[in-house]
């Protein structure tokens, strides 16, 4: 019992000394369960409370999980473990669509860094324009131009592999060697080379601009999309460095030039990663990346199922198809088992015996069941992260527009406050004049 009123106020949120009543600003439904606990010594789980809210209420009243009744303990622990992974049940509820508070706080923390930076307001708007395609009309235009440059770069890389351009490059290389020049200098088509230079200039502008406008340089290099931007321009500059190191020396041997050609081919192959730059402008691609990141258990289970099935059915097919050339070894049967379990069925290797056909039928049916089980969970996670990503983009977009609204509201608040102050001052002065006239003060005092 509380010995004094001060001690009683420390125990609760409010205390009425006259009525001797304590007030606790807590959930009333749990309080009924608390009274029942003091009467019977058993605490039961309330269905109308979330498992985490129930845990917070129990911690507030000093009750642990040991106070739970045996009939509710297993259900409470099951709900507590299953709640973070309940993707199927929560994917359609409004609360699950909302972005995580930690993600919103991270975004707000990043935006708050511009307050103390030089030209913080301008940098903040430019950063939101480049990062969020739906922030404003200039951001949409910038996103369209960036997507066009990425598609043009991919198209140039694909056109470069056509036989017509390869034959033209071979003829240009022969002419360059005959003229005493390096063959690598004449291999690229002039139009494709100019297009490649333009794309590299745009990608370099994007990377440098984002680096200069980023609120945190350390977080910039930790973001996957920024790393993709760096990788998209890195092969070009590495090719220039390799050419300067190997090909620009006088009297370079043919072996060195051959090594340079191999290095250039490897770096050109890395240009295929530019297609990942579209993830910055696509909510679906970002959601796919988040799904794969949070579905490593399901992906691991899927690969394990496929590995077991391929191993089993490859051994059966090897035994049943001894005379078949495509099944001469078990490792050679792995390709057939993988193609069959994934229901691709190229048809390059097919069983001919009855036992082999039965094994192929079991492999195909097993593949359908094995692939379908984890895919459902992965699909539900993708739907969850897609809606969550859309909500996070809306939160970032609203945070940018809220700055102007807060400025207007602050100006309106100051004007209303000044108006109320002047109105109160005039009313007080009028009441003072009436009081002085009623009391009959001397003329000098009234004039004062």
Nearest to 70 by CA among 91, 45, 93: 45
Q: What pLDDT score was predicted for residue 201?
A: 92
Better-scored residue on pLDDT, 45 or 352: 352
Residue 276 sits in the same domain as residue 336: no
User: In terms of domains, do 307 and 272 share one?
Assistant: no
Residues 232 and 307 both lie in one domain: no
| More confident position, 110 or 310 | 310
Q: Is the pLDDT of residue 205 over 90?
A: yes
Please indicate, yes or no, whether residues 276 and 337 belong to a single structural domain of this protein: no
Same structural domain, 248 and 322: no
Write down the pLDDT at residue 431. 46
Q: Is the pLDDT reported for residue 417 higher than 70? A: no
301 and 277 within one domain: no
pLDDT value at 214 more than 80: yes
Q: Give the residue with greater pLDDT, 406 vs 380.
A: 380
Would you say residue 97 lies in a domain? Answer: no
Domain contains 214: yes
* pTM metric for this prediction: 0.55
Q: What b/e readout covers 209-235, taking b as 16+ CB neighbours within 10 angstroms?
A: ebeebbbeeeebeeeeebebbeebbbb
Reply yes or no on whether the pLDDT at 429 is more than 70.
Answer: no
Measured CA to CA, the distance from residue 207 to residue 203 in angstroms comes to: 6
Q: What angle do CA 219, 150, 232 make, to 5 degrees?
A: 45
Least reliable range by pLDDT among 31-40, 104-113, 319-328, 427-436? 427-436
Please check whether residues 300 and 331 belong to one and the same domain: yes
Q: What is the pLDDT at residue 371? A: 82
344-354 pLDDT, tens digit each: 888 888 888 89
Which of 101-110, 155-164, 249-258 is predicted with the least confidence, judged by mean pLDDT? 249-258
263 part of a folded domain: yes
Mean pLDDT, residues 17-42 taken together: 79
């Amino acid at each position: 019992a509380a010995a004094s009123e001060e001690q009683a106020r420390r125990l609760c949120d409010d205390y009425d000394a006259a009525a001797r009543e304590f007030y606790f600003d807590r959930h009333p439904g749990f309080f009924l369960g608390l009274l029942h606990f003091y009467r019977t010594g058993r605490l039961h789980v309330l269905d109308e409370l979330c498992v985490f809210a129930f845990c917070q209420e129990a911690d507030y009243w000093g009750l642990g999980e040991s106070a739970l009744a045996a009939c509710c303990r297993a259900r409470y622990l099951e709900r507590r473990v299953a709640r973070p992974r309940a993707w199927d049940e929560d994917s359609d509820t409004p609360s699950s669509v909302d972005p995580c508070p930690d993600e919103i706080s991270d975004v707000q923390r990043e935006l708050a860094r511009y307050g103390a930076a030089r030209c913080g307001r301008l940098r903040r708007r430019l950063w939101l324009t480049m990062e969020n395609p739906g922030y404003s009309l200039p951001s949409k235009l910038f996103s369209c131009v960036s997507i066009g440059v990425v598609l043009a770069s991919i198209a140039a890389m694909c056109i470069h592999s056509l036989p017509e351009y390869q034959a033209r490059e071979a003829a240009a290389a022969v002419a360059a060697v005959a003229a005493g020049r390096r063959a690598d200098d004449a291999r690229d088509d002039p139009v494709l080379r100019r297009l490649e230079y333009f794309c590299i200039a745009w990608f370099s502008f994007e990377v440098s601009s984002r680096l200069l406008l980023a609120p945190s340089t350390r977080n910039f290099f930790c973001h996957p999309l920024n790393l993709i931007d760096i990788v998209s321009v890195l092969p070009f500059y590495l090719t220039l460095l390799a050419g300067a190191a190997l090909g620009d020396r006088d009297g370079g041997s043919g072996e060195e030039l051959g090594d340079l050609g191999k290095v250039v081919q490897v770096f050109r192959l890395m240009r295929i990663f530019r297609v990942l730059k579209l993830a910055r402008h696509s909510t679906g691609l970002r959601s796919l990346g988040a799904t794969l990141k949070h579905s490593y258990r399901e992906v691991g289970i899927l690969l394990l199922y496929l590995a077991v099935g391929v191993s089993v059915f490859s051994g059966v097919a090897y035994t049943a198809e001894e005379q078949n050339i495509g099944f001469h070894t078990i490792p050679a049967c792995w390709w057939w088992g993988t193609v069959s379990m994934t229901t691709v069925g190229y048809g390059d290797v097919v069983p001919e015996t009855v036992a082999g056909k039965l094994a192929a039928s079991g492999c195909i049916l097993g593949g359908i069941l094995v692939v379908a089980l984890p895919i459902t969970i992965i699909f539900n996670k993708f739907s969850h992260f897609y809606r969550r990503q859309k909500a996070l983009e809306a939160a970032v977009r609203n945070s940018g527009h809220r700055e102007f609204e807060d400025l207007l509201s602050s100006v309106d608040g100051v004007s209303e406050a000044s108006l109320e102050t002047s109105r109160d001052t005039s009313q007080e002065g009028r009441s003072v004049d009436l009081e002085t006239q009623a009391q009959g003060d001397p003329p000098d005092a009234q004039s004062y």
